[in-house]
């Protein structure tokens, strides 16, 4: 079955430093979604990428979808304490049968050192 790997598993950064998490799929994707889960909370949708090579920005967050539609990245510029949490990618493979389902990555837990 499909495998979705995220690296790193943990990242500790000083406030103000940049942060990047990477998501890699074993299969070609139809789309990829990104979610953020605050400590003690539930995942909240951030964005969806659909097109090969797509880049989307949300304030300090930049999301990229690889040219081959097998990998993606989330980059945060100048981290703030409000960025603390676990970031998950969720990948939907291309399917000819319409029965594929979203698979979540293992997540990257971001902690900020004030």
Pick the closer one to another protein by CB: 6 or 25.
6
DSSP string, 19-63: EEEEEEESS-EEEEEEEEE-TTS--EEEEEE-STT-EEEETTEEE
Q: Is the dihedral of CA 77, 74, 61, 106 positive or negative?
A: negative
Residue number, 71 or 103, with CB nearest to another protein:
103
Pick the piece of the chain touching another protein (CB under 8 A) from 18-26, 63-71, 72-80, 92-100. Answer: 92-100
One of 32, 91, 105, 112 touching another protein (CB under 8 A):
105
Q: Cα separation of 35 and 23, whole Å?
A: 12
Distance CA 44, CA 101 (A): 18
Question: What does the per-residue mask of binding to another protein show for 15-44, with x meaning CB under 8 A?
Answer: ---------------xx-x-x-----xxxx
Binding of another protein at residue 101 (CB under 8 A)?
yes
Among 48, 62, 73, 111, binds another protein (CB under 8 A): 48
């Amino acid at each position: 079955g499909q495998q979705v790997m995220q690296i790193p598993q943990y990242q500790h950064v000083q406030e103000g430093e940049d942060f990047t998490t990477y998501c890699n799929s074993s299969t070609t994707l139809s789309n990829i979604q990104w979610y953020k889960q605050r400590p003690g909370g539930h995942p909240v949708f951030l964005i969806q990428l659909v097109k090969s090579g797509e880049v989307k920005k949300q304030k300090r967050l930049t999301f990229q979808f690889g040219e081959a539609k097998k990998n993606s990245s989330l980059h945060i510029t100048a981290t703030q304490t409000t960025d603390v949490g676990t970031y998950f990618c969720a990948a939907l493979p291309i399917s000819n049968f319409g029965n594929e389902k979203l698979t979540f990555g293992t997540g990257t837990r971001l902690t900020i050192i004030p």
